[in-house]
Every structure is written in structure tokens, then in C-alpha cells.
Structure 1
Amino acid sequence: MSEVHEPQTLLKIEHLTHRFGGLQALTDINVELKKGTINGLIGPNGAGKTTVFNLVSGFYVPSEGSIVFDGTTLNGLRPHKIADLQIGRTFQNIRLWSDMTVLDNICIAQHSRLGFSLKDVFLRTKNYKDREAQIHKEAWELLEKFSLADSALDYPKNLPYGIQRRVEIARALSLNPKLLMLDEPAAGLSTSDLDGLINYIKWIHETFGITIWMIEHQMQVVNTLCDSIKVINFGKELAEGTPEEIQKNPAVIDAYLGNAKIVEDAQKPFEPIKIASQSRRPQKD
């Protein structure tokens, strides 16, 4: 009989506590994410969900507790160092460079992998030219995979909101992350767009095989995608379990899922869509 191996732990958070001056935003939060899983972090507005993401990303330093990613302690590391460890994230409010093309937004995310110096840039050395060409090639390939090649030369500010969301996710994936953190990916999307988003995240997970951790209020998205869900309220843990367990948990229903519309939305099925596009990659002479 073949031996069954449990998925390895990728991210482990223990006794995470954070204070903003005299305000205690988080108290004794514990999280364990297994490699290759999709996980949810939910709770009412102001529960502290984005604060958890900001602590993992290095924007804040924990007041107490530890954050260990793939064997490396993240406490005190700067955001760019954490990104170098292959953690990519998006934000609740889209943070794209609006006056740079979609292609340039993807390319600039590769700063940690440039492989050339400022001197190379000024002298336009062969190393600089070769690396620039490689980065552009990889960016085009990523945009083609994400069906964004048609928008590669457009400015994000001129694109529909849903496309901007996809660009931000593609930029995070350009880091070749082991962990992708999505902060409310459905924020601002219409109800009709949710099915497409669900299909899109499923495709990312299946194609890249990465661990995904998402904050989301749309329970239809969370329940369809997540293997495990952590619920926090007022900065403290409230519950953890499968989507089915969370939906039936009395404390969660009382604190978060009691709204009839949220419960109704959580039960809606989704319709897969086909991802396809034509490339606008400039043709070589």
C-alpha cells in the first residue's frame, strides 16, 4: 500500500498580536496554511483581516507572535525582502501604476530579478539589453496566459475595473510566488462578474499549483474555492473549518452570516467561462 503524505506547511502564524498605539487590533491569531491549498480569511468589516495580510507582507511589524514562511521567519523583514521570498499579494484598493502600460506594470514587478546594475543602465551594456529583452518576453508570455495580451499596451486607468483586477493578480504572479495573497478580489465587481472571478482563481490554482490565501466578503466565492476558512471578529479568532462547517457554525452566523442576502449569495452556483484571447505582441520586422 502506498504511503499517503500530508501536505507540508507553507505558512505558520503563531500567537500573532498587533497594537496601533493603545489600540489592540489583533489578539493571539494562529494560522497554518498547507502547500497547494486555497484558504479563506473572513470576518466583519474592521475585524483585522487586512492587518493580518499587512503583517505577513512586512508593512507592519508584529507586536507579539511569529510568522514563519517556508522555514524563514518574516518578523522584521522589509516588504521587498518578503516579496523576494516568493510571496505575492494584491490589495483591497487596486494599486496599479495607472500611467504605465499594463506590460510595464508587469515588467516593473521584476525589479528583484533584474540582474543588472545602475552602471549597466547608463552604459546600456549587453547584460542590460539581454535582461530587458528577457523580462519583456516573460511579461508577454504571462499576459498571454492570463488573456490580457489584448490590453498589454493600454493604460490601466482606461480599462474596466474587472480587467484591472486581473492585471493586479497577474502582476503578483509575475513574482513566481509560492503564496498568493488576495485581498478582496471580488471588491467592486458586479454580481454577474463573480462567476468569472471564481473560474479565474480556480484556473490560477490549477495552472500554477500555488497556495492561495484570500480575504473575501462574497461568500459565494469563498465557499466555492476554499479548502479551509478562518473567521476573525474584533481582532480575535472566532472559528475555523471547511466551508460547510463555517456555514453551520452558530457563532459565525450570529457575527457575520446572519444577513439573509449573504447567506443567499453563498449558495449560488457558478458557471465556468473559457479563458481565451488574441495577442497584440508587436511583430518583429
Structure 2
Amino acid sequence: MSLLQIQNMTKTFGGLCAVSDFSIAIEGNELMALIGPNGAGKTTVFNLVSGFYSPTEGSLVFKGKSLAGLKPHQVTALGIARTFQNIRLWHDMTVLENIQISQHYNLGYNLVDAFLRTRRYMGNEKRIADRGYEILEALDLRQFAEEMPKNLPYGLQRRVEIARALSINPALLLLDEPAAGLNSSDVNDLIKLIGWIHKEFKIAIWMIEHQMDVVMSLCSWIKVVDFGVTIAEGTPEQIQNNPDVIKAYLGDENI
């Protein structure tokens, strides 16, 4: 069974069909991309997988369990982590605290423990802090642990967001336009980082990305949507030369 199996998923908002009859299977160590023009429905797909929306039709199964009706924190607890196109860090908390707060779904203690600072509270707080330092070390961010994210360059902020997602030990990492807002140097660093994460953490990565050099450098399989409908899927070479994809991005006059 695939790690993530989506079958015939459709999402409508009133009379608007944002995603239509979408199907995909992602295995345990794949690196795949979902691409398409602006407004194609890509982020809606990610919002459906991560529990922000519920599908109008179809099924989503992760590790053999249905995601239907689950809230985002419940999806996270199953092992799906994500980043966002617009970086969503808490800028008045330190980098380490941003990593630690991702553990809220798995604290291991209750309000009474926190108030009384019980042994269970102290032990779990140490576990969370240790995990935070471990992931910062792995992503070469340890020196920024006590820094506020708002004081870091944009490329490092993106790295912190990815570190926070990895801190939950996901089996599937969703990256929503990780190269958005990055300069060419940062994009090259991002390509190396994602490739390293895929190899080192041995997890599945599914990304939405507009920068084709990122997609073509990293992904073995690409799915293309336009106006919520799948128009193509295949290897980078197949997608690059697909006339339907070229038409969706460039228009009829460029075919």
C-alpha cells in the first residue's frame, strides 16, 4: 500500500470546482512535484491533505488510515508536516521556541503538570528541547537558536520553517513553494537542502513549486494541474515536452 493514496478527490466551494477528480499515489521515499499556473488548485490539494479542508468527494488514505474529517493537528500526529508559501513563523519567539512549539500535539503532560512543574512536565520539556537542538544542529541552524526569526535573512527563515516541519519526524513532508521569495543563491542552497533532507531523513517529499529548476533538479515524478484538473503527469523530461503543459503555462500562441 502507498504511503499516501488519493483517489478521485474533488473539492467545490459553492459553484466553483477548485479540484476535480484528483488521484495520486505517493510511496515512502519519493520526491514528487505538483505544478501548474497560478490558481490551478495546487494549494487547495495540500490544504485537503493537511486537514484544512475536507473533500467534497473522493478519498485520502495515509498509512492505511482515512484522513477524512481529521483536523490539522490530527493529520500532523499521523506524520504529515507542511510548510507554506508565505513563511509562517512566530517572529516574537526564538528560533528554538518556534521548533519546540511544533510539538504541541505531543506534549505528554497536562495543565496541572505544567502548573506544578511535575517530573512528567520537566521530562517532556527536556525531550522537546533536545529534539529542537537536534534538528537545528542537523540543518546548520544551531547558532541561531536564541535569535528571533524576524532578524534572520529570508533564506534562513525558510530553512527554520522547514526545520520546524521536520521536528515532528514526518513520513511525508509537504513543501508549498519553498523557493518563493528566494534569490538565485538561496534557491541553489534550497535545492541542495531538499536533496539532502530526502536522502538523510529517508522521507517522502511532495512539493508545489513554480521555479522549474528546483522541480527538474529534484523530482522524479511531476503532476500538472490547471483549473483544478489534472492535465499531465510523468517524468521531468516528459513534462518538459508536453504540449498541454506548455499551453497551460504559455498560451496557445506559443505552441
Partner of 1:10: 3
Q: Does 1:108 align with 2:121?
A: no
Stretch of structure 1 that moved more, 43-52 or 70-79:
70-79
Distance (whole Å) between structure 1 residues aligned to residue 19 and residue 135 of structure 2: 37
1:43/1:49 contact within 8 Å kept? yes
The percent of aligned pairs where both chains have the same amino acid is 61
Query: Secondary structure, in 3 states, of the residue corresponding to 1:30?
Result: strand
Distance (whole Å) between structure 2 residues aligned to residue 28 and residue 105 of structure 1: 37
Distance (whole Å) between structure 2 residues aligned to residue 222 and residue 216 of structure 1: 7
Q: Does 1:25 align with 2:18?
A: yes
Partner of 1:261: none
Partner of 2:72: 79
Partner of 1:38: 31
Partner of 2:139: 146
Q: Does 1:135 align with 2:128?
A: yes
Query: Which amino acid letter does the alignment assign opposite residue 157 of structure 2?
Result: Q
1:97-116 alpha-carbon deviations (Å, 9 max, x no partner): 11100000101111122111
1:14/1:66 contact within 8 Å kept? yes
Structure 2 segments unaligned to the other structure (5+ residues): none
Find 1:55's aligned residue among 48, 54, 58. Answer: 48
Partner of 1:238: 231
Against the structure 1 CA distance between its residues 257 and 71, is the aligned structure 2 distance closer, same or farther, given a 3 Å change threshold? Answer: farther
Query: Secondary structure, in 3 states, of the residue corresponding to 1:92?
Result: coil
1:109-160 alpha-carbon deviations (Å, 9 max, x no partner): 1112211111000111111111111211111111011000111101111111
Q: TM-score, normalised by structure 1?
A: 0.87
Query: Which amino acid letter does the alignment assign opposite residue 152 of structure 2?
Result: L
Partner of 1:88: 81
Distance (whole Å) between structure 2 residues aligned to residue 37 and residue 15 of structure 1: 21
Query: Secondary structure, in 3 states, of the residue corresponding to 1:47?
Result: coil
Distance (whole Å) between structure 1 residues aligned to residue 185 and residue 195 of structure 2: 17
Partner of 2:240: 247
Partner of 1:222: 215
Find 2:59's aligned residue among 49, 66, 82. Answer: 66
Partner of 2:158: 165
Query: Which amino acid letter does the alignment assign opposite residue 25 of structure 2?
Result: E
Q: How do 1:159-238 and structure 2 match up within 5 A?
A: 159-238=152-231
Structure 1 segments unaligned to the other structure (5+ residues): 1-7, 259-285
1:247/1:257 contact within 8 Å kept? no
Query: Secondary structure, in 3 states, of the residue corresponding to 1:98?
Result: coil
Against the structure 1 CA distance between its residues 257 and 212, is the aligned structure 2 distance closer, same or farther, given a 3 Å change threshold? Answer: farther
Cα deviation, residue 257, structure 1: 5.8
Q: TM-score, normalised by structure 2?
A: 0.97
What is the RMSD of the two structures over their aligned residues, measured on CA atoms? 1.2
Query: Which amino acid letter does the alignment assign opposite residue 11 of structure 2?
Result: H
Runs of 4+ aligned structure 1 residues displaced above 3 Å come to none
